[in-house]
Amino acid sequence: MSGRSGNRKPGNRSGRVSSGGAPQAINGVPVVVGQRIECHIVGLTHDGEGVGRFEGYTLFVRDALPGERVQAEVVSIGKSFGKARMTELLESGTGSRVAPPCPIYDTCGGCQLQHMAYAEQLRWKRQHVVDNLVRIGKLKVADDGGSVIVHPTIGMDDPWRYRNKAQVPIGHGVGGLIGGFYEQGSNDIVEMDACLIQEVENEETVRAVKEAARLLDIPAYNRVTGRGLLRHVVVRHARTTGQRMIVLVTNGRDIPHAQELVGLIREKIAGVVSVCQNVNTLVTPVVFGEETRVLWGEEVIYDEIDGIQFAISPRSFFQVNPEQTVRLYGKAVEYAALTGDETVIDAYCGAGTISLFLARHADRVYGVEIIPEAIEDARRNARINGIQNAEFAVGPAEVVMPRWQSEGIVPDVIVVDPPRKGCDPILISTMLELRPSRIVYVSCNPSTLARDLRLLEDGGYRTVEVQPVDMFPHTGHVECCSLLVRKN
């Protein structure tokens, strides 16, 4: 058997094949849960699952790759599609399958594409972007005689050990407290002491925290009962300074033996300059609660990207792959085509990362973000870099930007970097009213990017080019930077 499916939990076998050997079709679905079928894999989903066809029915088959013929066991069915786990590779495809190097890849849900050669990952991510632009955005790409250029995905020379932040859920295992990542499609935690996409420093720090917590009998949070204390360990490592921050996310304010815990961690790990606590008592998958305090050391650590220094607080948004961040934001600056005379608005500015990149080339940059703590970080980052031509405001971009317009602030360029759900429709309308000559759209979700590009095209803009960037190798995620220009 090939792939990583051998250790998967079997699906529910209720409703197996009838005694006559053929499934009884229900509502036109030609398979039942537990049935073993053969299918050809014709594509990949956005989550990296193989797309198979069986008697006209679509099955998403985890660990299968395009071009392969596989045997799979059906684990769930729906009206339009079902899910299956691969049990055997019957026929190889394009030769893109490789042996995943991670020892827990069979169970961990952190990566989805380690079994695909990296060059093929980059090709697939570009095609994933193209498919969304065509299907959702109704755009015509240059591949098919259209005008929108979609460049090859910018990858990494060494696509391993790139994450400067680890966010590790804590729970109960057979031997007590465990910490790792969630199993794919499950809330079960897979114990992890080594992760090939994390920086080694993060591994060391998480391991030290778990060992200290076990030694002091600090109870792990139980997601079923809502009891226990330690929910997550969040670790940040600043590459340029070597500083490390630890955030203990707890189900309550009181940590037993808190100072002993800090002492044990500091004995094990050099470079720790900040140990913080975040309190989250809500029954929620959201990691952070509203209250954060420093248990020991500094409230921030400092890192640098492309010559710009950033203060990073426990809840700051800071890109986890610095090497690819330089490439992504460098492309945003290139697409903005700044000469030094322009006024730029950076919507969804976060902690001001893109704003400060832009400020080095623009006359004036205005950043807006709805999260007050992020704006505090942005202002602090501007101060520590001596950048005086960047101004930041708290509030919804669609509210703040018209106010700026009434004050005589007319943008030549608007840059947006929204969350996965894409731009708020009101913000799209606001941008169309402001009519900048260029819009630079940085996206972490090709489907919502395509949707929003369609709205902007209908509003008088033309999509010129799209640059995919592989910020998260070996996962199904891809970031894009897109350039739009006003048609007239």
Spell out the residues 6+ positions from residue 254 whose beta carbon is closer than 8 angstroms to its own. none
CATH number given to 5-91: 2.40.50.140
Catalytic residue ranges: 444
pLDDT at 183: 85
Tell me the pLDDT tens digit for each residue of 247-270.
Answer: 999 999 999 999 999 999 999 999
Tell me the pLDDT tens digit for each residue of 426-471.
Answer: 999 999 999 999 999 999 999 999 999 999 999 999 999 999 999 9
Instruction: State how far the Cα of 101 lies from the Cα of 114, in Å rounded to an integer.
Output: 8
Instruction: State how far the Cα of 200 lies from the Cα of 178, in Å rounded to an integer.
Output: 19
**Reading across the β-sheet that carries 413-416, which strands appear in turn?**
149-150, 461-469, 479-486, 438-443, 413-416, 343-347, 364-369, 390-394
CATH number given to 321-486: 3.40.50.150
Q: Please name the residue ranges forming H helices in 287-371.
A: 322-336, 353-359
Domain borders along the chain are 5-91, 165-305, 321-486
Here the tokens at position 106 are 């069979």
pLDDT at 24: 57
pLDDT at 47: 86
Phi, psi angle pair for 325, to nearest 5°: -60, -40
- Do the domains at 5-91 and 165-305 have one common CATH topology? yes
pLDDT at 20: 39
Query: pTM of the prediction?
Result: 0.90
pLDDT at 22: 52
Instruction: State how far the Cα of 456 lies from the Cα of 269, in Å rounded to an integer.
Output: 50
Q: Are strands 343-347 and 413-416 parallel, antiparallel or unpaired?
A: parallel
Spell out the residues 6+ positions from residue 138 whose beta carbon is closer than 8 angstroms to its own. 454
Selection from 382, 395, 387, 305 nearest residue 351 by Cα: 382
CA distances, 266 to each of 212, 213, 246, 259, 261 (Å): 10, 13, 11, 10, 9
Q: With a cut of 50, list the residues of the chain below it in pLDDT.
A: 1-3, 5-21
Here the tokens at position 415 are 């840059």
Domain 165-305 part of CATH 3.40.190.80? no
- Counting every residue written for the chain, the total comes to 488
CA distances, 401 to each of 370, 392, 404, 432, 439 (Å): 12, 11, 5, 12, 14
Instruction: State how far the Cα of 116 lies from the Cα of 162, in Å rounded to an integer.
Output: 18
Amino acid in the structure at residue 414: I
